[in-house]
Structures are given as structure tokens and as C-alpha cells.
Amino acid sequence: MTLLRDEDLAAAFDHASRSYDTLVAANPGYHAHLRRSARRLGLPRPGTGLRVLDLGCGTGASTAALSAVLPGAEITAVDASAGMLERAARKPWREGVRFVRAPAERLVDAGAEGPFDAVFAAYLFRNVADPDAVLSTVREVLAPQGRLAVHEYTLSGRATHRAVWTGVCRGMVLPVAALLGDGDLYRHLWRSVVDFDTAEVFADRVRAHGFDTVRVLPLPGWQTGITHTIVARRPAGAEDGR
């Protein structure tokens, strides 16, 4: 199948936004894993005075994880889907959380200007047309020594983990999504994981964009070998060349 990209993908997420929270809630550990990845940014709690960018916030699950881990931080949550952002913005949020509609590659044009102390990107990179362009943008908006945490379905490379992912999607996720009229989106989401970088290949991609202290950290439960946190840091210095 052809993967959805750009406006087509945003439109598919718009349509799916009404049931998205219900589907992800059925995923054991979904919200706890996001909080774990947020903690892996390694920022001092409660985060008072820090600016954090939540890139690809969807309906706000990642935003809620960041807010729980860093209750004093200023959080700018960005997504390209109007429908997902509308759902996110309806939820109760503390002061210091704001939402911005923008593609990940055009943050500054939409008013999401750095420098940020950290960028958190959950389930984003496999869905963008040009992950290298997004990594370049992330590096530009990060302050020197700013932290990056990518929470993503990035397979280990082992055949067993790929088989588990495909089995869960075909046996559970895709039938429900088809009943909801969102089959195209969830077929894309299944295939986007299979076709994307493995966790170690993505880590190498991050290093190639000038980040250091790059680590690949597993997540527990059924998602072991399927979902990882990739953490990294922009090096110190204003002119960090690549």
C-alpha cells in the first residue's frame, strides 16, 4: 500500500480524531509509556522556567505526559491535524500549556519559536515525508545542550517483534478501525512501522544530524522490541557544525 503523507495524512487524522482516544486507551501501558519517555528527557523536576516542545501532540496524550512529569514547564504542543488539535484543546489544561497547528517542518512560521530546552516527539517521525528535514528543524529550535526524546514504534529488527506488531494490527486494531471508517489510516500506521527505520538505524540518523549522547531505550510489556525511546542532546555551543 502507499503510505499517507502531508495533507492526506492530516485529513485522515482529522476524521479519526473522534475515536482516537478510545482506541489508544485499549493499548496496555500507552499512557504510562509516554510518561516514562518524558522522564527520560532527564530534565529537573518540576521543570519551572523550562520551555518544552511537544511535536506531533495529537489529541494531547503526549502533552499530558509531559505536564505530569514537568508540571512547572511551559509546553508548546504542535500538530498538523486540525481535528486532533481541536480534541486536545477541549481538555482541561493548566496554565502554561498552549496548542499550535503547524507541520513539523514549519514550526517557526506558525509561531512555535525556540529556543526550547527539550523536544518530545511521540509517534511522529515515521509519519513525516522527510524525517531528516524534521530532525534539522528540531536541532535548530533546541537550545545548546537541549534534550530530545523520540517515543516511537521503531522495531528492533528481529523477525519476532515484526510478527507481533503485524499480528496485533491485523488481529485487533485494523478490524476495529475498519468498523469506525478509519481503515486507511490504521493500515498506514501499521505499514509505516514496518517500512520505517529500526531503532538503531534511527539512532544513527539522529547522530548524523549532529546530536550526541544518543541512546536507544526499550519500553516494557508487549511493546518490547516494538516501541523505543531514543534520547539525544544538542551539543553545547552556538555554532555546532555537522
- C-alpha torsion angle, residues 47, 52, 58, 62 (rounded to 10): -30
Residue written as grid cell 521503531 = 154
pLDDT tens digits for range 76-135: 999 999 999 999 999 999 999 999 999 998 888 888 889 999 999 999 999 999 999 999
Cell readout for 2 is 502507499
Q: Quote the pLDDT of residue 158.
A: 97
Q: What pTM did the predictor assign?
A: 0.95
Q: Quote the pLDDT of residue 242.
A: 44
Q: Quote the pLDDT of residue 241.
A: 45
Q: Using the 8-state DSSP alphabet, how is residue 43 labeled?
A: P
Q: Quote the pLDDT of residue 26.
A: 86
- Which residues of the chain are under the pLDDT cut of 70? 1, 238-242
Q: Using the 8-state DSSP alphabet, how is residue 124 labeled?
A: -
> Are the C-beta atoms of 232 and 206 separated by less than 8 Å?
yes
Give the list of residues 6+ apart from residue 27 with CB closer than 8 angstroms, or none: none
Task: Round to whole Å and give the CA distance between 176 and 167.
Answer: 14
Q: Quote the pLDDT of residue 25.
A: 84
- Name the E strands within the chain: 51-55, 74-79, 97-101, 116-122, 142-153, 212-218, 227-233
Q: Quote the pLDDT of residue 185.
A: 95
Q: Please count the other Cβ atoms lying within 10 Å of the Cβ belonging to residue 210.
A: 15
Q: How many helices (H) and strands (E) does the chain have?
A: 9, 7
> Are the C-beta atoms of 120 and 149 separated by less than 8 Å?
yes
Task: Round to whole Å and give the CA distance between 48 and 182.
Answer: 40
